Structure formats: C-alpha cells, structure tokens
Amino acid sequence: MPKLKVNNIEVEVEDGLTVLQACEKAGVEIPRFCYHEKLSIAGNCRMCLVEMEKSPKPIASCAMPATEGMNIKTNTPLVEKARKGVMEFLLANHPLDCPVCDQGGECDLQDQSLFFGLTKKRFYTFKRIVLNKNIGPIVKTVMTRCIHCTRCVRFATEIAGVEDIGMFGRGLKSEIGTYVEKIFQTELSGNVIDLCPVGALTSKPYPFINRSWELKNIASIDYSDGFCTPTQLFVKNNSVIKIISGYNLITHKTSWISDKTRFSFDGMFSPERIINSFLDNNKKKSSIGLSWGKLFKEFFSTLYFQSHLLKHCYHQHYIVICASTNTSLEVLNLLNTLTRKYSFFKLRQPEPQNIDVDLDRNYLLNVNLNDEILTSDTCLLIGINPRYEGSKLNLMLRSRYLKGNFKVIQVGSLIDLTFSSTNITSNTKVLKSLIEGNNLFCQELVNSSNPIMISNINIFKRKDSFEVAKMLRSVTQYIKLFSQSKNQNKINILNPSLGNVGFANFGNLKTITDTDLKNSIGIYFINNSFLTSNVKKFLNLKLLNIFQNFKGNNRMLVTQNSTLDTKLIAQLKNGFNLNNHLHLPNTVFFETSGTYISTEGVVNRITKIVKPLGQTKNDWQIIRKIFYYSKKNLFITNFLKDNKLVFNSSTFCHYTSYIGFQYYAVSNLNSLTFSFLKTVFDYRPSANKYKSKRGKLHNAPFRFWLNDFYLDDKSFNGKYSSVMIQCSKLSRLNKTNFKF
C-alpha cells in the first residue's frame, strides 16, 4: 500500500487508487466535472488539477495513479490559477441562464464558479449555439449548456450497454448526441439526468416545477422490483416531485435505478385514482362519498342477511378475499388472522403459485451479488429476463462479463441482455438433457468454478411447476456431483415483484377459482389488478353461464383499490350476479407504512411520506375495522344437512388493538423495531410438503419476457402513468413498422 503526502498530511491508500481518491481520503475535496467513481476515467475537463513535487506542470489528479513518495499540493497559487483558467474557458461558451435552469441550486458548475468568484471575462465573442436533441420522453436536452464531460457517453457505453450516444465534431464544433436521429432506448436512460453536472440533461416530464432548496428529501425503497433498491424522494406540498437513486447503508454505495422506478410514481396520483368511497346498488341509486361508518354498516348488513338467508343450505357460504402479492407483511398477517378467526372469510391469491415454502432458500435469490457473481465464471439463466425483471441483477452480470472469463447460458427465448450470451433452447426438454449429460454445455457446467443458476418465480405458475422445480434441483445436484466447486449450488429465484417473498412466507395460499366465486356470498379484492387475476381468465373463457343459477339475491363485490377498471367490474358484476358494489378507497405506496422482504431476503421498512388524499385509509386500518364490526354482529352459518353451528362470534375472544407476533397494527408504526429474520415463523400455517409427485413435464417453452416493460406492472403505477404510456408508445414504434 503506497504512502504519500497531501498538503503535508501523510496518507496510506490501497493499490490502484488515483491521486484524487487519495486526496479525498485525506479529507481534501477536489473539484471535478468529468470524473465519476462508477465510470471510466476520461480526464478531459482538467478541473481536478493539482501540483505534484518535481512535476513541471499541474497534473490531472483523476488520471494519475497514486504511488509511493508522492507530495501533492492542492492549495498553491499555481493550482488556483490553473483551475480559474479552466473555469474561465468553460464559462466562455456556457449560457448564463441559471435563473431559468432546472439544475439551479444543484449544479456543479454553479458551485465552482461561486467558489472561485469569477466576475470578469477576457473573451468577448459570441457564445456558441448547439441545437437540442430529441433522445426520448425521459431526458430533456439543452445542449448549449453542455461542457463535454462525456459522463453520459460513458454511461451509455459502459453501464447501459447501448452505444447510441457519442461525441462528434472537432474543436468548438464538438457536440454530444446520437449519431443518427433516434431516441436513447434503454431502461436506464434516466440516470444520465443525475450524472450530468450541469443543466444540459434534465428531466423532461417535470420541467420548471421546483427548485432543489424547496424540496424535502426523504429516504425510501424501490417499489417497481423485488430488490428494494434504496431511493431518495423529493416532496413538496404533500406531493412527490421526483425520485433519484438512494444511498445503501450496507454497501455504502448508490445504485442505478430504472426509468420505471424514477418516473412511474405519477400513476399513483393520477386523476383517474378514486379517493372517495361509493356504493353501487342495483335497487338503490349510487352514493358517492359515504362515511366509513355507513360503508361498514352496509358491508355487515349484507353479510348478516346472507348468513341467515342461507343457513339451511348444504354448503357453507363465505366471503372470498383475494389479496395481491404486493401487500405488506402487516396487512398479510392481519388477513391471515382474520381468516383463521372467522370461518366465513376465505383468503385466496390471484394467481396459481406452487412453491415449496418449507425453506426460504426455495424462493429467494440466494446468490450474493457482490461476492459470488464476481467469483463465478458461468451463469445459467432459466426462464428469466434480468434486464427487465431485475435491472440490478443484469447490471451485475454485465459488470462481471466485462471483466472477462464469464459465460452466460440462456434457456428461453432470445433476448438482448446488453452483453453476449449463448441461447441453447426455449423448451423444457433441455433440463432432462443437462441431467442425463447429453447436452454440449454439460462439460462447461462441470468444469466451471462456482457456477450460478438463476430462474424466475414465474416457473411456479406453470401447471408442471413441481416437475420443473424437481428438474432444477436435479441440475444443481448434477453440477455438485461432478463439479469441483465447493458452492452449494442452490436454486436462485428472482422475484420481480415487491411483495412476492413476503407473500410466500405465509404459505401456499389457495388460488381463487370459479368454485370460490360460485359459492361465495361476496368477493373482496385487495390491491388486486384484474389484468393478472384468474377472474379475467374466467370472463374471457365465457364460463359465466355456470353462475347464473345461483340463488343469492344480495351478493356483493368489495374493491379495496386505488383505481378501478370499470369495464371488467361491470363484466364481473353481470357474470357473477353481484348486486352490490362497495368501494373502499385505500392508500398508495407512499401514503402508508409497511414492511417488505426483498428477493435477497433482506427486510426493508418504509414510512409514510405524504398524507393520504380524500377518504383513503391504510389497508391495515380497514382490516382492523372489519375485526371491530365482526365482533359486534352475531353470524350463524350452517354446514351439512344437520344444521351444525359453524361459527358464533360470542364464543371467540374479543379482538384487541394488536395481533399475534411482532407486527403490531397500531397507529404509530414508525416506533416499532422488527427482528423479522431472527423470528421463527410459528404463526404460519403448515406449508404443503413438497412432494415429488409424478407428473408430466410439459414441452411448453419458458415464457419469461415482459410484454411491455413500462406498462406491464402488477401494481397500478405503470398503467396510469402518463410518462410510462409515452415511453411504451415510442418503444413499440421502434420495434414495429406500424404507426400509432
């Protein structure tokens, strides 16, 4: 480790560090424009000049390696004069439009010019004018302000893997833009806004809205994928203005975030969001803006009426609760407690998912992104598109690929991962060939050191999910048996959705079926998107004639969502004889507190950032109200022919203000500390044992790609986001010959 002096302060640094990094370690800040810790070194701005002993002229500290015995000076008159000269040249052609620049208040050029106090110039020529470029709906360009730091060029080439942006021209005619007129097509394009040190690249969706000093900065997590990437939210007047990448307290680094994370939040606060309650009755007129007391009174009056009307039926009638996988752990535990305590509530999930939940490693991304990927030389991707389903994982794979000696093998359809990969097939038959040793890539897996196999949670939604999972385990055993690797070779499962892991912790819930809809007296949807539920499949398959003979006269539909698809709601009501439609407006992601588990198994806690709008309430508050009204009513339902009493609320203990284990449903959720990983899940029902059933392995190919990266979201964020809609339109225009 070399030792050097910075302003007479002796510093010992690691091998390979630059003089600039050594100065920062000594506590000396060096101004810079082109340098960025996650990008390659360009050394073209010359703002980081320092004086080195025995050097005839100042050196660029960002490009000079730190060596033994160096004596660096950063505050000499020579260094100050050199930096002032560089700043004077930068301001010669830079427009002085700081009052109307979106970068004002957080501009590096503005800060440095204020520090040096430049008020006069020696060049009285016309400033150059550069035409703006249209590179997409995300980034706004004012290229006259560009200082040619090339941060955006290096990001596009090195990180995003899209070589669309570059520098062309020479001298004063140099420009940065696309070589041909096209948009900057990548899922990470919004990161160049944060990288630009001046106002050349700013946010196009929200120009001229606020200044940086007017915004309140709050830490949060990414809601669009399963990694729970740290983010920073800027809030003003109870509204989210923008989202940027946050600081990770574990790795002490910032991460790149996708465009969906950065701009899809406007879908949560779109005008189409329903913030008032309403009751739609076929016999009565529709009522909007009812009080919560009247809402629950209507809910339980319908339930009480049906329990007495149907007490002589041969089947137990119940309310089906269909909860979304994007639900917090607190709400899931409340629903689990509700269904166990009251027999007329049945908890279901919207999509089939057969996961072995006995062990957490069966549905987690067990691989360490920082360690194991860097030490691996082979990665097997089975039914997964990491570029769109987990951009963080794809960035790690690309970073490892650029270092060399790393091979990626795909099982599935051809996709562009921004780096070279080998596609062997898209059929499940390849799993058998890998186990039997009849595949050409078996030898590469055996000879590889620390091979990694990554799949998607969607494989458990297949009809042959048990057989596919069995094959994947057999592949890992094959590699472990013949390979010299000491790694356990676990199955790594990527969860593209935020709450998939937390949902799996509560066991394999039954999937909502047509039988549930036929026998229920009410259907209760919580944060459920009808685009992914089985209800839409039932409607499309025209199975409605089955339910027309149901004799219930007062069946109800309860929706607890932020938005509604009126067309599907109407089909649902007509198809299943749902006379009453009760809507309970709930809060969105930033309006509530909750706990989520990432796909890596890390517990993440979020707090309320903005106040709820209208009549909206938190999901856990609504479920607690259901508990409160349930104990006040006497419900009697009968099962079988002997009129056996199934439930009587007077025989149960009264529900208090808290629930079972460590998740307390109190008003002050921020004051609680959680030790989720150290707690044994004794509360959870016994999971279905993963039995090696003999089933047929279907030859259907893996379907892992997203139909639309911007709009294909299980939550309502992307669907109602104006920015995502525009991005989706341009993306389809580039991939097809059709004009919209």
pLDDT digits (tens, 9 = 90+) for 15-33: 889 999 999 999 999 999 9
Which has the higher per-residue pLDDT, 160 or 360? Answer: 160
pLDDT tens readout for residues 335-389: 888 888 877 788 988 888 778 777 777 888 887 777 788 888 888 898 888 888 8
Q: Which two tokens stand for residue 473?
A: 């385990």
pLDDT at site 469:
81
Residue burial 109-144, b: 16+ Cβ < 10 Å; e: rest: bbebbeeeeeeeeeeeeeeeebeebebbbbbbbbbb
Which has the higher per-residue pLDDT, 692 or 390? Answer: 390
pLDDT tens readout for residues 472-484: 888 877 777 666 5
pLDDT tens readout for residues 398-433: 999 999 889 999 888 888 889 999 888 877 878 878
Range list of β-strands (E), 457-544: 492-494, 522-526
Query: pLDDT grade, residue 652 (50/70/90)?
Result: very low
Query: pLDDT grade, residue 554 (50/70/90)?
Result: low
* pLDDT score of 665 more than 50: no
pLDDT tens readout for residues 192-249: 999 999 999 999 998 888 888 899 999 999 988 888 899 999 999 888 999 999 887 7
Going from the C-alpha of 634 to that of each of 303, 306, 554, 648, the distances in angstroms are 10, 12, 19, 6
* pLDDT score of 654 more than 80: no
Which has the higher per-residue pLDDT, 587 or 680? Answer: 587
Q: What whole-number distance in Å separates Cα of residue 668 and Cα of residue 670?
A: 5
* pLDDT score of 714 more than 70: no
The residues near 239 (Cβ < 8 Å, ≥ 6 apart) are: 269, 610
pTM, 2 dp: 0.86
H or E stretch including 78?
A: helix 77-93
pLDDT at site 685:
39
pLDDT tens readout for residues 489-527: 578 889 888 888 888 887 778 888 877 877 788 889 998
pLDDT at site 553:
57
pLDDT at site 738:
46
pLDDT tens readout for residues 382-392: 888 888 888 99
- Report the percent of the chain where pLDDT is more than 90: 21
Which has the higher per-residue pLDDT, 69 or 314? Answer: 69
- What is the average per-residue pLDDT within 114-119? 76
Q: Which three-class secondary structure state does DSSP give residue 133? A: coil
- The mean of the pLDDT values for the chain is 79
**Is residue 259 a contact partner of residue 190, using CB atoms and an 8 Å limit?**
yes
- What is the average per-residue pLDDT within 317-321? 83
Which amino acid appears at position 732 of this protein? Answer: R
Q: What whole-number distance in Å separates Cα of residue 382 and Cα of residue 448?
A: 17
Query: pLDDT grade, residue 580 (50/70/90)?
Result: confident
**Is residue 564 a contact partner of residue 466, using CB atoms and an 8 Å limit?**
no
